[in-house]
Structure 1
Amino acid sequence: MKKKISVFIVLTLVISLLAGCSGKKDGQVTIGIGQFAEHASLDNCKDGFLAGLAEEGYKEGENLKVSFDNAQADGGTAAQIANDFVSKKVDLICAIATPMAQSAYGAAKDTKIPVIFTAVTDPVLAELAKADKSPNGNITGTSDKLPVEKQLEMIRKVLPDAKTIGILYSTSEINSVSAIKEYKAAAGTYGFEIVDSGISTGADIPLAADNLLEKVDCITNLTDNTVVSSLPVILNKAAAKKIPVFGSEVEQVKIGCLAAVGLDYYDLGVQTGKMAAKVLKGEKKASEMNFEVIEEAAFYGNTAVADNLGITLPEDLVSSAKEMFKEIEAK
């Protein structure tokens, strides 16, 4: 009888340990969310990520504990955040934006902690994945790759006489370097020349914007975290010269970009959260999941900006828009 009881106790302990390791829905899990910079699109990623987890049964305050930190666009801080999550032995790290994902990958690669990234433009160039989208370790997630050709096609419709497009980017963000290369390769097809200006820090942006605005007919914005964090500065300078600025996603259009063909970062976050849930449930390992690219790209326009610039947005774009804005949101 005692032997049977002992066996029962051992089995119960083993099952409990396995349940804890597999991240079952009915057991609490702890995740670390590291965000590289503070701006609306990345904030939407985080909110969407938590919503995606909630849809799959992981709800903060119930069976999910979240440790969140923001690197404020500083690479050294991003590395510290990632190392802190590893030292806390979280069950999973969510890394928002390319520099944060690279830091998390470096910190966790010799551990068993899975990393799920989001808002990474080119996971292959960032050395987080292989060319076939398979992971370079226990890491996977979602890409916010820009629909470059659709954006160029839209700009040509809105500005039929434009010849030059300016792009500001941070030389330290490889996601931006990748996007610049793609823009330059495609621009000629639509009759454009790309004039790019690289900056090292946010402090360089005012002067760089002034210089760029003297050379171009319009500016198109990337998902560059350093530049997006200072986007209001660029918008104010461009508005004073009546030069249109195009965004890369909906939040940029809300605060003063004329238009964009881009994705919804909240939806991207939801998609990422559902991938993370599969890992937490033990259904898949991050190392077994290819990274995903959100397929939907929609048109967003701001009629208040158009009126200020004396531009009429083409009716076919307006009628197909996912959302149009009639005012400029304060930032």
Structure 2
Amino acid sequence: MKKKLMAGLLVTAMTAVMAAGCGSGSSESGGEDGYTIGISQFAEHGSLDNCREGFLAGLEAEGIVEGENLTVDYQNAASDMGTTGQISDSFVSSGVDLICAIATPSAQSAYNAAMDTDIPVVYTAVTDTEAAELTDADGMPVGNVTGTSDKLPIEEQLKMMREILPDAKTLGIMYTTSEANSVSAIEEYEALAGDYGFELVTTGISTTADVALAADDLLSKVDCITNLTDNTVVASLPTILEKANEQKVPVFGSEIEQVKIGCLAAEGIDYIALGEQTGKMAAQILKGEKEASEMASEVITEPGFYVNTKVAENLGITIPEALISSAVENFDEITAE
């Protein structure tokens, strides 16, 4: 840990040696002042908020507790790439012990900013770590960076959508062209959609300002829509849902929070659990048990089925009983975001 020495303070030779040998994130106890972590979150929406909540819970489970031996500097970029860069630079300038980066743009920015320092970066909610240039093809770090992936269970999603909508022909996806995670997911959907009888229609956007017109255009061409873990699109999901509901077009989500606020169903992961997994990885680094550069990216392998029966009722859709009984959670109301 980095020590603040008061002017004129006399220390013993032993204390001086210990302080000199204590690098960023290497102290078992966190030092006199504890640990300082910078959390860079790309956007404000439920799944990323859940990641942050889970991350802090994972640290706490390992004895690193905010307000006791942990100081957290939380910054949200509100989906702005320029702000994301400023956040990363500020964390590096202030010499935090570790950066937690939530979502792909934040992870890329944090790694680039910290690359020439000894500050480790731990990311979460990065869909394709290789495409984001954070790992190699085997999931091993490209540098002092590691974390967890929220890679979508795309084939399970397609299978579920086909079961619920046996007659649907066209499937729409809106995505941000600058988000590596979304581009990667689109490529996988393109490869698999035909196997489940869907013609895929995609619409690319650049900013949230594009969402309303893009949604109108997409809804005019498709029988249903599915969402990715695209941060810009998810942040504007209420707008998309409002327009889709007017036209009785079902919208599928990619995780639990999207189903809560009005998506019909999702095969997705538990973002709180993903965050907890990430927090435990970060704890190992802070305690000096492992280096980020030697820790492979991790994933949650088992998706869960989430459904909103109120949405199904509003759209006049009958969910197969087998799916209902398999649901991790079944919501009977729509919760405003």
Give the TM-score taking structure 1 as reference length.
0.96
Cα deviation digits, residues 208-266 of structure 1 (max 9, x gap): 10111111010000010000000000001000111100000000000000000000111
Distance (whole Å) between structure 2 residues aligned to residue 9 and residue 34 of structure 1: 38
Distance (whole Å) between structure 1 residues aligned to residue 229 and residue 27 of structure 2: 33
State the partner residue of 2:211.
205
Paired residue for 1:189, among 174, 182, 195?
195
Paired residue for 1:326, among 314, 332, 337?
332
Distance (whole Å) between structure 1 residues aligned to residue 243 and residue 255 of structure 2: 20
CA displacement at 1:193 relative to structure 2: 1.1
Paired residue for 1:15, among 14, 18, 26?
18
State the partner residue of 1:148.
154
Distance (whole Å) between structure 2 residues aligned to residue 116 and residue 292 of structure 1: 11
CA displacement at 1:10 relative to structure 2: 2.2
CA displacement at 1:181 relative to structure 2: 0.3
State the partner residue of 1:317.
323
C-alpha distance 204-287 of structure 1, shift in aligned 2 (>3 A): same
Paired amino acid for 2:92? V
Distance (whole Å) between structure 2 residues aligned to residue 23 and residue 290 of structure 1: 22
SS in 2 for 1:236: helix
SS in 1 for 2:175: strand
State the partner residue of 2:136.
130
State the partner residue of 1:25.
29
CA displacement at 1:330 relative to structure 2: 1.3
Distance (whole Å) between structure 2 residues aligned to residue 36 and residue 9 of structure 1: 45
Paired residue for 1:54, among 57, 60, 74?
60
SS in 2 for 1:127: coil
Verify: 1:224 aligned to 2:230, yes or no: yes
Verify: 1:86 aligned to 2:89, yes or no: no
Verify: 1:63 aligned to 2:66, yes or no: no
SS in 2 for 1:94: strand
SS in 2 for 1:195: strand
8 Å contact kept, 1:147–1:262 = yes
8 Å contact kept, 1:25–1:57 = no
Indicate the percent of aligned positions where both proteins have the same amino acid. 67
* Structure number with higher helix proportion: 1
The gaps in structure 1 that reach 5 residues or longer are 1-7
Paired amino acid for 1:201? T
CA displacement at 1:17 relative to structure 2: 4.2
8 Å contact kept, 2:30–2:287 = no
Paired amino acid for 1:264? D
SS in 1 for 2:225: strand
SS in 2 for 1:313: coil
SS in 2 for 1:283: coil
CA displacement at 1:174 relative to structure 2: 1.0
Verify: 1:304 aligned to 2:310, yes or no: yes
Verify: 1:165 aligned to 2:171, yes or no: yes
RMSD over aligned CA atoms reads 1.2
Give the total of aligned pairs: 324
Cα deviation digits, residues 76-131 of structure 1 (max 9, x gap): 10000000000000000000000000100110000000000000000100111100
Distance (whole Å) between structure 1 residues aligned to residue 96 and residue 313 of structure 2: 50
The gaps in structure 2 that reach 5 residues or longer are 1-10
8 Å contact kept, 1:152–1:190 = yes
